Amino acid sequence: MQIMSQKAQLEAAEGKNPAFDKLWGTVKEMWLKMIGLYIVVTAVIIIGFFLIIIPGIFMVKRYFMSTYVMLDHKNLSIRQAMDKSAAMSPSTDAIWGVVLVGILFGIISVIPVVGWLIGGVLSILYSVAPALRYQELKRLTA
């Protein structure tokens, strides 16, 4: 579901209408590679957090766009997608904006009674923002 969601976000950010059969085709074609990417990026970030937190924070910025890179360039290896994501990250601090807004919506969810609803709705509405940011960074670093 995560792969389909991110591919749909990427296609919507490109102005395309995502179709279920194409999204499912992407999952069938790339599921193993994407799971490998998720595992490697998560491991790198966790190791970075164990190394006095600061490296982990930088790893989040470096590899935040790696899933969109891999979905956009299907022929890349896990390492190449991570390297391309890292190459995009120093050009701007705009990645932090997307990450921090997502954290803010998570914090809103803690508000008693209606926080979960407000945070959930805002998160759904904002879900395409990382893909839009990826498109912007792709244009800037091209």
Sign, CA torsion 124/92/136/68: negative
**pTM above 0.85?**
no
Q: What are the boundaries of each domain within the chain?
A: 2-141
The pLDDT tens digits of the residues spanning 45-102 come to 888 777 777 777 788 888 888 988 888 888 889 899 889 988 888 766 788 888 889 8
Q: How does the average pLDDT of the chain come out, rounded?
A: 85
User: What average pLDDT does range 4-26 have in this prediction?
Assistant: 86
Number of C-beta neighbours around residue 38 at 10 A: 15
pLDDT of residue 91: 62
Q: Is the pLDDT of residue 108 over 70?
A: yes
Q: In this predicted structure, what is the pLDDT of residue 80?
A: 92
